[in-house]
Amino acid sequence: MTSHPERKTAAPSNPFADVAQGVSADAFAILGPHRQGDDLWIRVVQPSAQSVAVHIGSEWHAMSERAERGLFELLRPRARDADIPAYRLRITFGDGRAVDLDDPYRYGPVFSDYDLHLFNEGTLHRAFERFGAHRVRVGSTTGVHFAVWAPNAQRVSLVGAFNGWDGRVHPMRHRLPSGVWELFVPDLPDGELYKFEIRTREGHLLTKSDPFGFSFERPPATASIVRETSGYEWSDAAWVEARAGHGEWLEEPMAVYEVHLGSWARVPGEGHRPMTYRELADRLPGYVKDLGFTHIELLPVMEHPFTPSWGYQVLGFFAPTSRFGPPEDFKYFVDRCHQAGLGVVLDWVPGHFPRDAHGLACFDGTALYEHDDPRQGEHQDWGTLIFNYGRNEVRSFLLSNALFWLEEYHVDGLRVDAVASMLYLDYSRRNGEWIPNRFGGRENLEAIEFLQRLNILTHGEHPGTVMAAEESTAWPGVSRPVHLGGLGFTYKWNMGWMHDMLKYLREDPVHRRWHHDLVTFPMLYAFSENFVLPLSHDEVVYGKAALLSKMPGDLWQRYATLRTFLGYMWGHPGKKLLFMGGEFGQWREWNHDHSLDWHLLDDDAHAGIRRFVQALNWHYRAEPALHERDFTPDGFRWIDCHDNENSVVSFVRYAKDPRNAVVMVFNFTPVPRHDYRIGVPAAGFYAELLNSDAAMFGGSNLGNAGGLTTQPNAMHGFEQSLTLTVPPAGCLLLKRRD
């Protein structure tokens, strides 16, 4: 149910008719108990009822149906001195079925004036505690409180199976001038489906899912679900406490395994269905931990109507998708990751939302969450709508959503999708298709302010969590503090490094010497931001081919080149991110409808790539030089970046303690380099800690017999040097031993 035509009714002539016909903007003025002089009136609207009775004290009193069909009332004369009594209703339907219930219209408002004020000024940072469906206690009565923002609606009603999806039965209270509508429904159980029926100013009826819904039906069904999720008992207190005292991850190893939950592994015996959150919790954390990664990053798990969007077109911003189980099962998944010592990062999409009729688009008949002008409010590339970041209530919605995932689901950070599309008013637009800011520029000033507030809020409220930006332009200061003019993110994805390296590796090795600058250029800006080096899902879809398939040459060269590329990524300054399947060299391009090709691990070459990634992560975590100074120039020095003729590069990575420096050498051709001399920082024996050409990784076992001793021959600005055998399409990791 998403929308339907307006019911054909006669023009209302009085407030009673308005309520009975479902067009009243103030049903609370009629329904429930009301004093009129010495008399007490109780009124209820039940269009499908044959009769209604009221139970007061120990007696039942039949209500009279007014001329306005479906509107019942009871008069208690001369009730001036009595308090308004507690009462219950008995609704009898034409089929003889009778239902006893408490009357929602005998209760006052729940939403405080102060919270409404904060919401309207954009500072109700935990709006999820007030909006949506919450089980609360009012006096001695327990029920569910609903609240929704629809300032331009003529009437908003709660609808569900409990009232026959009839918008006349449960009209909500309008809290003027906030634009918020609320209703407390006593005794409503968990599991009830619900939506909001909205009557627009033009008289159209819209049926909308709850923007703050915490649980949804499994798509393609779209109703929100009343669900109490706060009862989950977490077992990750030690992890959360350690994270809070940890500070940021800037000097720590951070290797992220990116996952699409629906296609990591499927269940062959049951029609290749996706695994549930609980099934994934029993397998995925152990697998990722064994590989040596520190974090799991999930493509958006927020509820989305269209599976092929991979979660990037969100409608249920406050609900994990029901495709894999209920909300508490996703909590269990996060809990198990933390118990395994793994952080969990979620992709988060505040840049746009889809147009589905049951969602945020034109929510109350007007452009509410989005801009009204398509030059500001539409993403032409994706066919989606852009949030209006300048609207206070929209900021409350989005900022609350970020905190919600950090607090309610204990996640350790958010990767903000498509930041560039938020920052630029002319993003993917031609002249005349966008509106300049108040200074005549192309920068989206409201989005900039929103992102700065977002990062101040999340880092301040939850130290130790990370905020990463997928930002593909040269926007300055993405990962610099807000007080210094930056956007305040912890990290920025290094899209330039990724594009340059993939372009370089697609070249035939014979031609790579003419493209050597693609390897070396990223170091010119490597310390301008706190970078994450991503090899993400975006690089293995839509005809781009899997990582292994991008490598030219015969089979041996492809395997060897992929290992060397991964070695270069782990050696290069910056945190690491690898999409699932890349760790064992999947051949097939990623398909969200299919499992990874796990059978490839039966092949020694693919198992060797997996062992190499495992070894990379082990050394990455063990060697301070590979992570302590990722973001300062004193952590890196080229040994030789000019040997384009051999397509070989070498460098030193430094730790805070210079004795922990490591040397790395990369040969991007399938030709072994014998007697290859490089300068090194100090005299002594250099152990060969890692060689991508080792037989255990699928290589030819060409190397340096475990290590070499320096010679007092100056080279590359160093007084000492090593004469190495550099394996074909291989990389070496060396460290001086006393």
Distance CA 419, CA 422 (A): 5
Q: What angle do helix axes 327-339 and 237-244 make, rounded to 10 degrees?
A: 70
Q: Which two tokens stand for residue 79?
A: 């009730």
CB 175 within 8 A of CB 341: no
CB 22 within 8 A of CB 4: no
> Which residue did the predictor score with more confidence, 572 or 245?
572
Domain that holds residue 66: 31-106
Q: pLDDT (tens digit, 9 = 90+) per residue, 327-342?
A: 999 999 999 999 999 9
Per-residue confidence (pLDDT) for residue 2, from 0 to 100: 47
Are 127 and 100 in the same domain? no
Per-residue confidence (pLDDT) for residue 12, from 0 to 100: 46
Per-residue confidence (pLDDT) for residue 269, from 0 to 100: 87
- Which amino acid, residue 569? M
Q: pLDDT (tens digit, 9 = 90+) per residue, 339-362?
A: 999 999 999 999 999 999 999 999
Per-residue confidence (pLDDT) for residue 187, from 0 to 100: 94
- The DSSP output letter for 631 is T
Q: How many CA atoms lie within 13 A of 275 on its CB side?
A: 20
Distance CA 73, CA 40 (A): 10
In a domain, 626, yes or no: no
Per-residue confidence (pLDDT) for residue 387, from 0 to 100: 97
CB 575 within 8 A of CB 519: no
The CB density around residue 184, as the number of other CB atoms within 10 Å, is: 25
Give 534-600 as a DSSP string: EE-GGGGSTTS--HHHHS-SSHHHHHHHHHHHHHHHHHSSSEEEEETTTTTT--SPP-TTS---GGG
Are 102 and 147 in the same domain? no
CB 569 within 8 A of CB 532: no
Asked whether the predicted pLDDT for residue 225 surpasses 70, the reply is yes
Distance CA 23, CA 168 (A): 8
Q: Which residues contact 6 (CB under 8 A, 6 or more apart)?
A: 199, 203, 204, 205
- How many domains in the chain? 3
- Which amino acid, residue 184? F
Are 177 and 130 in the same domain? yes
Q: Which residues contact 238 (CB under 8 A, 6 or more apart)?
A: none
- Which amino acid, residue 28? F
Asked whether the predicted pLDDT for residue 3 surpasses 50, the reply is no
Give the confidence band of 13 by pLDDT, cuts at 50, 70, 90: low
Q: pLDDT (tens digit, 9 = 90+) per residue, 95-120?
A: 989 999 999 999 999 999 999 999 99
Distance CA 463, CA 288 (A): 24
Are 725 and 687 in the same domain? yes
Angle formed at CA 129 by CA 125 and CA 134, multiple of 5 degrees: 160
> Among residues 694, 727, 725, which one has the least CA distance to residue 611?
694
Are 120 and 155 in the same domain? yes
Are 93 and 117 in the same domain? no
Are 176 and 123 in the same domain? yes
Give 475-530 as a DSSP string: -TTTTS-GGGTS---SEEE-HHHHHHHHHHHHS-GGGGGGGTHHHHGGGGSTTSS-
In a domain, 303, yes or no: no
Q: Which two tokens stand for residue 519?
A: 């390897």
Q: Is 725 helix (H, G, I), strand (E, B) or coil?
A: strand
Sign for the pseudo-dihedral over CA of 128, 131, 135, 138: positive
In a domain, 716, yes or no: yes
* β-sheet bridge partners, residue 182: 147, 173
Asked whether the predicted pLDDT for residue 6 surpasses 70, the reply is no
Asked whether the predicted pLDDT for residue 43 surpasses 80, the reply is yes
In a domain, 195, yes or no: yes
Per-residue confidence (pLDDT) for residue 80, from 0 to 100: 63
SS3 letters for 689-717?
A: EEECCCHHHCCCCCCCCCEEECECCCECC
Asked whether the predicted pLDDT for residue 624 surpasses 80, the reply is yes
Q: pLDDT (tens digit, 9 = 90+) per residue, 149-172?
A: 999 999 999 999 999 999 999 999
Are 186 and 87 in the same domain? no
Are 145 and 198 in the same domain? yes
CATH number of the domain within which 127 lies: 2.60.40.10
What is the rounded average pLDDT of the residues 191-205? 97
In a domain, 43, yes or no: yes
**Terminal Cα-to-Cα distance of the chain (whole angstroms):** 73
Give 38-70 as a DSSP string: TEEEEEEE-TTEEEEEEEETTEEEEPEE-SSTT
Residue where a domain terminates, one of 204, 225, 246: 225
CATH number of the domain within which 718 lies: 2.60.40.1180
Distance CA 680, CA 573 (A): 19
Are 173 and 217 in the same domain? yes
Name the average pLDDT for the chain.
95
Residue where a domain terminates, one of 176, 195, 225: 225
Rounded percentage of the chain residues whose pLDDT exceeds 70: 97
In a domain, 362, yes or no: no
The CB density around residue 704, as the number of other CB atoms within 10 Å, is: 18
Per-residue confidence (pLDDT) for residue 78, from 0 to 100: 77
- The DSSP output letter for 12 is P
Are 121 and 101 in the same domain? no
Are 147 and 211 in the same domain? yes
Distance CA 161, CA 38 (A): 38
Q: Strands 193-199, 155-160: parallel, antiparallel or unpaired by DSSP?
A: antiparallel
Tokens 């039940």: give the residue.
46
In a domain, 130, yes or no: yes
What is the rounded average pLDDT of the residues 670-699? 97
Phi, psi of 683 (to 5 degrees): -75, 155
> Among residues 78, 3, 92, 90, which one has the least CA distance to residue 41?
78
Q: Which residues contact 501 (CB under 8 A, 6 or more apart)?
A: 518, 519, 522, 565, 568, 569
Q: What angle do helix axes 495-506 and 555-571 make, rounded to 10 degrees?
A: 160
Give 388-406 as a DSSP string: -TTSHHHHHHHHHHHHHHH
Q: pLDDT (tens digit, 9 = 90+) per residue, 263-321?
A: 999 999 898 999 999 999 999 999 999 999 999 999 999 999 999 999 999 999 999 99
Asked whether the predicted pLDDT for residue 632 surpasses 60, the reply is yes
In a domain, 271, yes or no: no
Angle formed at CA 95 by CA 92 and CA 99, multiple of 5 degrees: 30
Residue where a domain terminates, one of 225, 258, 287: 225
* Residues recognised as catalytic: 417, 470
